[in-house]
Amino acid sequence: MPKHFLMCRPEYFTVEYAINPWMDPEAGADREVAIRQWEALKAAYESLGHQVSLIDPIEGLPDMVFAANGATVAGGRVYGARFAFAERGPEGPAYLSWFAERGYPTREPERVNEGEGDFLTLDDYVLAGTGFRTDLAAHHEAQEYLGRPVISLSLVDPRFYHLDTALFSLDGRNVAYYPGAFSAGSQEVLRRLFPDAVLASAADAEVLGLNAVSDGTNVVINAEATDLQLELKRRGYEVIAVDLSELRKAGGGPKCCTLEIRA
């Protein structure tokens, strides 16, 4: 089924501060390369029949390209983001305004949360990450507004600072994930919920192979996650490998660049 995505062209992308272990301001990033890689990602979605809408980038917000962090959308309701770091603070209102201007019901958050970075909407419930960026209290706030059960998961490795760096949805009922990113209790929860999950290696997780986007048939994934790609193919998925190495210098991959608009 075709999906609807919101994306933001990395017009002002740079690495000028460090708010996660991937970022090195001294090394910086090549904006032109990042734009070409982002355009290839957008083209990949459109080639699969998905609709891509765009939000205008804002000068001074280099991480606005990571649209997934801008909100969580489920059942047509938009739960806004409130960022943990001041550098990204204005992104939340910008994304919420985009939805409000188009008639979506919106909720301005009281609790710190970073949108789909830490909220993964499945068919029957929402998986929610905490530990680095999103307050546990935001899980309750999201549940009350979205009207969907929210299951909390604790992240323990700072390299995997958002849930979407360590886990992605395969088809609405199953997931792929890297166990080492989660606390012991959360690993047990994931084993109970998803006994047939795809488990990723540390090597594939370390190239953000789990920051992927699946439509239930096709999986758009970082090209370097080779073993994970083979396992997905073995499970019957079509794999579309993309190069987002420049955006990874800020800790982002395909999913980070992609906010799903669930009507």
Catalytic residue among 8, 50, 139, 162: 162
Annotated catalytic residue 257: no
Backbone angles phi, psi at 77, to 5 degrees: -95, 140
Of residues 196, 222, 198, 202, the one with CA closest to residue 211: 222
Instruction: Find tokens 């068919």 and name the residue.
Output: 123
Cα(234)–Cα(176) distance, integer angstroms: 14
Annotated catalytic residue 256: yes
Contact 82, 142 (CB under 8 A): no
Instruction: Find tokens 């909390």 and name the residue.
Output: 152
CB neighbour list of residue 30: distance below 8 Å, 6 or more residues apart = 246
Catalytic residue among 8, 50, 139, 256: 256
What is the 8-class DSSP label of residue 116? G
Of residues 120, 54, 114, the one with CA closest to residue 87: 114
| C-alpha distance from residue 109 to each of 54, 116, 134, 212 (Å) | 23, 14, 12, 26
Which positions are annotated as active-site residues?
A: 162, 256
